Amino acid sequence: MATAVGGQKPQLLYFNVPGRVAGLRIMLFTAYGKDGWVDRRVEFKDWPQIKATLPLQFVPLLTLPDGRTVHQADTMMRWAAKKAELYPADPDEALFVDEMISTVYEALSKAPRPSSLVTKEMLPELWAEFTAGPMKMYLDYIQGRIAGPFFRGRDLTAADLTLYMLVNYFVNGEISFVPMSYMDGWPGIRAHYAAVKEHSLVVAYDAAYAASDAINEVKEFEKVDTSAIGKS
């Protein structure tokens, strides 16, 4: 298990939902245990005030024990995976893990979101177009990469936890404009999701943290300014 430096702990700042850090939290828990890192959760109503205090004005934000900060969730995933020993040592194997991490976050980054050009009233139609087109393309490709039950056969890696994060969005109802049955169109991904959820590392995390997730409050997210939430 990884240890904090000089008594300080790594801190992850994100909303009080799984969101784009579902897999990252699992790996931080795996690497540091429940007490070896700080899981700082932002209430949706407080986001406009907190946003202005952040280096790039989006979350997630990782603060290392020495005080340095890091944005970009996919970068954090690779770092945490190495801490949790869920990242291949072999460069060729790591290449394919990296590809899946990047592909999942790329797909997520292209999802519709409120901006100066996109009003909240436009989102239902934009999400319908996105899930029928670009997201379908990404999911078709990702499903073809699953060896079964995980991307690397029986070895769980950061790639699996990254896809788990993406599927969580849909099956948890974190996206108001997409039916929770959307992922049923990819049985291979649904089987992968079930296998990840049953993995001992995920079961242990859920036992320690699942009650912390305010999924029932996710609708409040639509009432706050999300224009500066990170794209990766």
164-204: pLDDT as tens digits: 999 999 998 888 889 999 999 999 999 999 999 999 999 99
Instruction: Categorize the per-residue pLDDT at 209 as very low, low, confident or very high, splitting at 50, 70 and 90.
Output: confident
Question: 161, 25 in Cβ contact below 8 A?
Answer: no
Residue % of the chain over a pLDDT of 90: 75
Question: 211, 41 in Cβ contact below 8 A?
Answer: no
Which residues, in sequence order, are bridge partners of residue 153? 150
What is the mean pLDDT of the segment spanning 120-148? 96
pLDDT value, residue 158:
99
Question: In this structure, are strands 11-15 and 38-42 parallel, antiparallel, or unpaired?
Answer: parallel
CATH classification for the domain delimited by 88-207, as one of 3.90.1150.10, 1.10.10.10, 3.90.700.10, 1.20.1050.10: 1.20.1050.10
Q: How many CA atoms lie within 13 A of 139 on its CB side?
A: 23
Please check the confidence at residue 206 and state whether its pLDDT lies above 80: yes
CATH classification for the domain delimited by 11-83, as one of 3.20.10.10, 3.20.20.210, 1.20.1440.130, 3.40.30.10: 3.40.30.10
Residue partners of 171: CB distance under 8 A and separation at least 6:
180, 183, 193
- In 34-192 the beta strands, taken as DSSP E runs, fall at 38-42, 61-63, 69-70
pLDDT value, residue 202:
97
- Kindly report, as residue ranges, where domains of CATH 3.40.30.10 are found in the chain: 11-83
Instruction: Categorize the per-residue pLDDT at 37 as very low, low, confident or very high, splitting at 50, 70 and 90.
Output: very high
What is the mean pLDDT of the segment spanning 138-156? 97
Instruction: Categorize the per-residue pLDDT at 230 as very low, low, confident or very high, splitting at 50, 70 and 90.
Output: very low
Q: Mean pLDDT, the chain, as a whole number?
A: 90
Lowest mean pLDDT among 2-6, 64-68, 75-79, 87-91: 2-6
pLDDT value, residue 187:
98
Residue partners of 116: CB distance under 8 A and separation at least 6:
227
Name the nearest CA neighbour of 34 among 15, 51, 16, 9: 9
Two tokens, residue 26? 């699992």
What is the mean pLDDT of the segment spanning 4-27? 89
pLDDT value, residue 216:
65
Q: Is 154 exposed, middle or buried (0-12, 13-18, 19+ CB in 10 A)?
A: exposed
Question: 60, 14 in Cβ contact below 8 A?
Answer: yes
Distance CA 41, CA 56 (A): 18
pLDDT value, residue 231:
44
Please check the confidence at residue 232 and state whether its pLDDT lies above 90: no
Question: In this structure, are strands 38-42 and 61-63 parallel, antiparallel, or unpaired?
Answer: unpaired
- Kindly report, as residue ranges, where domains of CATH 1.20.1050.10 are found in the chain: 88-207
78-121: pLDDT as tens digits: 999 999 999 999 999 999 999 999 999 999 999 998 777 888 88
Instruction: Categorize the per-residue pLDDT at 228 as very low, low, confident or very high, splitting at 50, 70 and 90.
Output: very low
